Amino acid sequence: MTELTGGSALPQERRVVTAIPGPKSLELQARRTATVAGGVGSVLPVFTTRAGGGVIEDVDGNSLIDFGSGIAVTSVGASAEAVVRRASAQLANFTHTCFMVTPYEGYVEVCEQLAELTPGDHAKKSALFNSGAEAVENAVKIARAYTKRQAVVVFDHGYHGRTNLTMALTAKNMPYKHGFGPFAPEVYRVPVAYGYRWPTGAENCGPEAAAQAIDQITKQVGAENVAAIIIEPVLGEGGFIEPAKGFLPAIVKFANDNGIVFVADEIQSGFCRTGQWFACEDEGIVPDLITTAKGIAGGLPLAAVTGRAEIMDSAHAGGLGGTYGGNPVACAGALGAIETMRELDLNAKAKRIEEVMKGRLSVMQEKFPVIGDIRGRGAMIAIELVKDRETKAPAPEAAGALAKACHAEGLLVLTCGTYGNVLRFLPPLVIGEDLLNEGLDIIEAALGNL
């Protein structure tokens, strides 16, 4: 059990002893409402005391099965032994010097790991930051410095963050952008190969969507003005959309042919989440730059831009940085997380989670017409809910009701999608198979009670 859960000492069980949220959580929620800004939401206001392996314990003594991983972060669990050991040792030695003031080995080691693990055998360099949004912003800075061009191309349903530039890159207005403009200029959005909703069907979707995207870039922006094309190899917040086969290679070829920096945003899909170190490996794609965060550091705040050395080196000395970027404790956490991923072969675990989930979800799809589509890879799996399978009218109410029903039973699930109608499953990769199945039982029962 210890090995399976990445070293978490927590009992790996679901335990519901109060209503969820329970009385102590409700008390804390009242304090929170009085002092925490209303704009900061929470999916489920149960206040956490401990978390690890596949569970989250709350102040009322409940233990929830975790199908969220803190939005795809705690792939190794929320208290993985190697993360705790390395980060604690680092904490005792020093918390911070600022890498731009006096450097330390941990930062360099993380960059060495990134060079080894990311796709392609070219010379690579990295720069470290604090959040995913910050990594994406820096990828744009680097691509602009390298190409001496300004335009940035992104896709329908894309999500890249909440800072000003990344809000512009993010597709969905509510809740991410509404009322927060004006947004950064020189950002252009083009179609993505969303197979399930492609008018002429999923089989034609890849090449057709690529042709449309490339046509729009050429006609509306001009390839010679484009610094970067940024895409999530599996679109996360937009609804776990896997671009239809052929789409990504066509876009990469277009970027390569036109001197455009191709950026894979693997912040959600990276680090074993999809059963590979990076989701873009699936179609043999080698990005020029890759942005990572979330799963990289077992829950500590760390993000990176990694890419071709000549592109990464194009920003002038002193042009990239930030006080905390590559904090030593976060770097130690990352080295612990990567160690755990290798030791427990978490790519294999993610593939097994896919097998179990897709097997069970396809049986549910036969019984429940509300499940329009099952998709995703590894431990990044989702169901898209529809009012009826003919029109594919989105059913966000069903997604909300299902999430609520699961929460009441002690299963934490998240929703996503441009239409809010996708229920997504992102368990820690170290979750035990019994908990995984118990979670799926709860989803099945909730579907039956819709």
Antiparallel, parallel or unpaired: β 261-265 and 289-292: parallel
Q: Which is nearer to ligand PLZ, 320 or 370 (CB)?
A: 320
Q: Which is nearer to ligand PLZ, 58 or 265 (CB)?
A: 265
Stretch that binds ligand PLZ, among 5-13, 77-85, 205-213, 260-268 (CB under 6 A): 260-268
228 binds ligand PLZ (CB under 6 A): no
71 binds ligand PLZ (CB under 6 A): yes
The one among 128, 293, 297, 446 contacting ligand PLZ by CB under 6 A: 293
Query: Binding mask 138-177 vs ligand PLZ (x if CB under 6 A, - otherwise)?
Result: ---------------------xxxx---------------
Planar angle of CA 187, 189, 193, nearest 5 degrees: 150
| # binding residues, ligand PLZ (CB under 6 A) | 16
β-pair partners for 371: 385
The closest residue (CB) to ligand PLZ is: 132
Query: At its nearest, how many Å lie between ligand PLZ and the CB of residue 303?
Result: 6
Q: Which is nearer to ligand PLZ, 13 or 283 (CB)?
A: 283
Q: For the chain, give the longest Cα–Cα distance.
A: 61
* Cβ pair 413, 423 in contact under 8 A: yes
What interhelical angle do 433-448 and 396-408 show, nearest 10? 130
Query: At its nearest, how many Å lie between ligand PLZ and the CB of residue 92?
Result: 27
Q: Which is nearer to ligand PLZ, 136 or 402 (CB)?
A: 136
What does the alpha-carbon distance between residue 215 and residue 100 come to, in Å, rounded to a whole number? 43
**Positive/negative CA dihedral, 161, 162, 163, 166:** positive
What does the alpha-carbon distance between residue 367 and residue 330 come to, in Å, rounded to a whole number? 45
Query: At its nearest, how many Å lie between ligand PLZ and the CB of residue 14?
Result: 25
Query: At its nearest, how many Å lie between ligand PLZ and the CB of residue 159?
Result: 5
What does the alpha-carbon distance between residue 164 and residue 151 come to, in Å, rounded to a whole number? 16
Query: At its nearest, how many Å lie between ligand PLZ and the CB of residue 24?
Result: 26
What interhelical angle do 433-448 and 346-367 show, nearest 10? 20
The one among 52, 132, 239, 287 contacting ligand PLZ by CB under 6 A: 132
217 binds ligand PLZ (CB under 6 A): no
* Cβ pair 337, 298 in contact under 8 A: yes
CB atoms within 10 A of CB 109: 15
Query: At its nearest, how many Å lie between ligand PLZ and the CB of residue 240?
Result: 11
Nearest Cα to 207, choosing from 376, 223, 215? 215
What does the alpha-carbon distance between residue 279 and residue 295 come to, in Å, rounded to a whole number? 13
Query: At its nearest, how many Å lie between ligand PLZ and the CB of residue 8?
Result: 23
Binding site for ligand PLZ (CB under 6 A): 71, 131-133, 136, 159-162, 232, 236-237, 265, 267-268, 293
